[in-house]
Amino acid sequence: MLEPFPPDRPARQVGPYRLLGRLGSGGMGEVHLACHATALTADPARMVAVKTIRGDLELDSRFRRRFAREYAAARAVRSPYTAALVDGRADDEDPWLATTYVPGPSLAEAVGRRGPLDEPAVRALGAALADALRGVHAAGLLHRDLKPDNILLSADGPRLIDFGVARAFDASALTRAGTPVGTKSFMAPEQLAGRQSLTAATDVFSLGISLYFAATGRNPFAFIREAREKDDRIAELLTDVPAGLRPVLTRCLHIRPAGRATPEWIAEQWAVPAGAFPWAPGVRALIAGDEEAARRCGAALMAPLTTADRNAPVPHSPTLQGNAIRPASAQRKPRQALRAALRMLSVTAALLVVSADEPEKPTPKKHAAALPAHLAPYTGEGRPRDFGKGAVSRLHRPAYWSPWTGRAQTRTGPCALDGTVLLCASKGGALTALDANYGHTLWSHRGDTSAAGATAANLGVVAGVAYVNGPRGTDGYRVRDGVRVAHHDPPPGRYTMGGAETLDGVMYSVYAGPFNGDGTGLLTARKLDSGDEGRGGGGRELWRIPVPGGPQQPLVAGGRVYVPRLLEGLVSYDARTGGDRVDSDGVSCEWGQVRDGRLVCVGADERGGVHILDARTLKRRSLIGRGRHMRSSPALGPGGLLAIGDGKTVSLHNLATGRTLWSESVEYLDGNPGPLYFADDRLILVNGAEIMKFAVSSGEALTAQYPGPKDWETDELLENGECLAVGGILYVTFSDGTVVSGYL
């Protein structure tokens, strides 16, 4: 039970973490709810659990070596259903560790207070815990103390805790000959017997007992002890569980280790549901209560603090890079100081128990709650820049993700997420594939880096193939391994790539012509027939038409292709045939978006503002923000919302009426605004290496500081980054090739 600290208690800090309240205690120390001292928050998702060791205990060098070794081992465990170990110090005077905070009751508490779980919940629980054990075992570890007290129930599924370094806290028990490690009530027969040689099957037996407890509310310890060598008695035990659970539980509780199920087999029998986790209303109420208690602890600490308190220096160098969140009211720092402050640990907390040899990094496996097949920064048809509810739903988060900073190639433009691969296109036809979980480079292809090759960065993904355009044409690379599987030559003549858009398997490309005449270029449509996934090839050109006036980056929506032109106004064509040309009355459209039959255009109009056109006729409907000269792409949100930024303010408007809903002043870094995005109930602005987030309902702002480009304060050519928002995390790419992933 979370116990908030009294208001008059002096603030206490452990490492870089400010303690918020007490979660529990034991013979070796206490566990506290905490948050990073430079990122005070009332959001439970950004809190950690910090375990401290009592100062009166004698911690010899052997303990500290074991702490460090098993700490490293536990860091290797990757599963969405384990609480991630994120930081710790074995060499501090008072050792400590931090893990993901999981708001919710233990399985033991939930069953004790709300009764046994129903069959669908037990199935989902078993599948999730099997995935957790798979991650533990893949790292070369054994849990050895799997029990209901070490299973926490959160809104999006269970978390297995107490493995890894938590074992080091009981190091003396490990060295006592014949003393079994674990909790007797949930031990396998071979573990009860004190055998030294334990296997993964030992954990599976403990899982089976825990699931039996979840389904019945009873502990079968006495029965198991009597049935050590009699498998037929296990069948007798299981007569009081639902029939649909018996086949898997029978395999888990086999007396002989060799006869037990594997975690992989369990996961095949029982799948984790793709939607909401099937907890009963009573369990959900317990989870909500813990979340609210954590919020109160955070709010109580933040309320009386001054700006100086909230930005106090941290005497610690974190082990991971992530985003530091600070309130919008906090004093803004000079640009150089901002760069120095961009490193922090994006963390969350809970504690695990294992025995370890030298582990190898596990190979991540796809999780049942998969990501959308493809996610681009423009978010689909019409480029509304609205990531929707998937931006915050953890169901869409890559299963093994943690915050990271990586590198793509320079002159990086937009990136796209395809499964767990982040694909980043660069000018000249370059392409880099990064692991979306960890940030390391999977493969890359260099483009044309000459001045002639400085074409726009364009990217389209169709059926497992990523297509990029360069001066030598269009190339398709298989996402899974980077093998080139398609190539299409550019049109003959003196044309340069002006931009491309891919929708429904068709790439619409603009080729700009020489400007010694009327600037006539080409617009082409090519079907990207990939055949079987990842095979590529077979693309065919559907049509090709000349476009005068200096055509630029196209926009495709509602069966139309919209082409802005430098020398003339906007023009549109039928996307299927290239015919049915419609001209606007001279409206320029440097940035364009389409939603609900409206075309939103920002251009070099002396009146400023944002033009709202009829998407079919290109007739002007209205002008929003007259007199304001937009310096970044707007965003179209749900319910007819329009967000715009002019380098001084960010404002939200009703698209139909033009009414201003709210307006907030923004201190842009060097007056260089970045694009805007909607992410569920938030509006995101890229502002240098900062990510600003506004509540859509009120405009209230919160600033996230990301480890952006090192030379941001000196390199005038650096451009603001593009964002992808999915599963409560952000991927941010900058033009120098820096790619950052942190919490949203």
Q: Which CATH superfamily is domain 3-102+290-315+324-353 in?
A: Phosphorylase Kinase; domain 1 (3.30.200.20)
Q: What is the mean pLDDT of residues 99-123?
A: 92
**Which pLDDT score is estimated for 427?**
77
Question: At residue 496, what are phi and psi to the nearest 5 degrees?
Answer: -125, 150
**Tens of pLDDT, residues 386-416:** 888 888 776 677 766 767 778 887 666 778 8
Q: What is the mean pLDDT of residues 321-331?
A: 30
pTM, two decimals, is 0.56
Range of weakest confidence among 230-239, 311-320, 365-374, 434-443 = 311-320
Overall residue count recorded for the chain in this entry = 744
DSSP string covering 656-720:
TT--EEEEEE---GGG----EEEETTEEEEEETTEEEEEETTT--EEEEE----TTTTT-TT--P
Q: Could you tell me the two tokens for 741?
A: 């992933």
Question: Is residue 698's pLDDT more than 70?
Answer: yes
> Which residue from 588, 587, 586, 584 is spatially nearest to 572, judged by alpha carbons?
584
User: Sign of the C-alpha dihedral, residues 501, 502, 508, 509?
Assistant: positive
Instruction: Name the fold adopted by 389-743.
Output: Methylamine Dehydrogenase; Chain H (2.130.10)
Q: Binning pLDDT at 50, 70 and 90, where does residue 543 land?
A: very high
Q: Could you tell me the two tokens for 78?
A: 């990757």
Question: Is residue 537's pLDDT more than 60?
Answer: no
Query: SS3 for 359-390, per residue?
Result: CCCCCCCCCCCCCCCCECCCCCCCCCCECCHH
Q: What is the mean pLDDT of residues 601-626?
A: 82
| Structure letter (DSSP) for residue 369 | S
* Cα 89 to Cα 64: distance, rounded to the nearest angstrom: 9
The amino acid that residue 437 corresponds to is N
Residue 69 CA, chain-centre distance (Å), reads 28
**Which pLDDT score is estimated for 325?**
26
* 499/710: higher pLDDT: 499
Instruction: Check: CB of residue 276 under 8 Å from CB of residue 25.
Output: no
- Tell me the pLDDT of the chain averaged across its residues: 76
SS3 2: coil
Domain with CATH 3.30.200.20 in the chain: 3-102+290-315+324-353
> Which residue from 614, 606, 561 is spatially nearest to 588, judged by alpha carbons?
606
**Which pLDDT score is estimated for 496?**
78
* Cα 324 to Cα 702: distance, rounded to the nearest angstrom: 11
Q: Could you tell me the two tokens for 647?
A: 């380098």
* Cα 8 to Cα 299: distance, rounded to the nearest angstrom: 15
**Tens of pLDDT, residues 266-311:** 999 998 887 789 999 999 999 999 999 999 888 887 765 433 333 3
Bridge-based pairing state of the strands 324-327 and 355-356: unpaired
* Cα 725 to Cα 717: distance, rounded to the nearest angstrom: 25
Domain with CATH 2.130.10.10 in the chain: 389-743
Residue with tokens 């805007």: 676
Helix axes 281-302, 107-114, angle to 10 degrees: 120
Cα dist from 248 to 201, 255, 265, 365, 724, whole Å: 14, 14, 9, 22, 40
Phi-psi region of 597 (alpha: psi -120 to 50; beta: other; left: phi over 0): left
**Largest interatomic CA distance in the chain:** 94
Q: Exposed, middle or buried, 577 (CB in 10 Å: 0-12/13-18/19+)?
A: exposed
Question: At residue 9, what are phi and psi to the nearest 5 degrees?
Answer: -75, 135
Residue with tokens 């996610």: 375
* 635/58: higher pLDDT: 635
**Tens of pLDDT, residues 118-134:** 999 999 999 999 999 99
Q: Exposed, middle or buried, 118 (CB in 10 Å: 0-12/13-18/19+)?
A: middle
**Tens of pLDDT, residues 575-586:** 999 999 998 877
The amino acid that residue 685 corresponds to is L
DSSP string covering 396-413:
GS-TT---EEEE--SSEE
Q: What is the mean pLDDT of residues 147-164?
A: 87
Half-sphere exposure of residue 719, counting CA atoms within 13 Å on the CB side? 14
**Which pLDDT score is estimated for 703?**
64
**Which pLDDT score is estimated for 209?**
92
Q: Binning pLDDT at 50, 70 and 90, where does residue 377 land?
A: low
Instruction: Check: CB of residue 569 under 8 Å from CB of residue 604.
Output: no
* Cα 179 to Cα 110: distance, rounded to the nearest angstrom: 30
* Cα 132 to Cα 128: distance, rounded to the nearest angstrom: 6
> Which residue from 113, 82, 45, 83 is spatially nearest to 284, judged by alpha carbons?
113
**Which pLDDT score is estimated for 263?**
95
**Which pLDDT score is estimated for 376?**
65
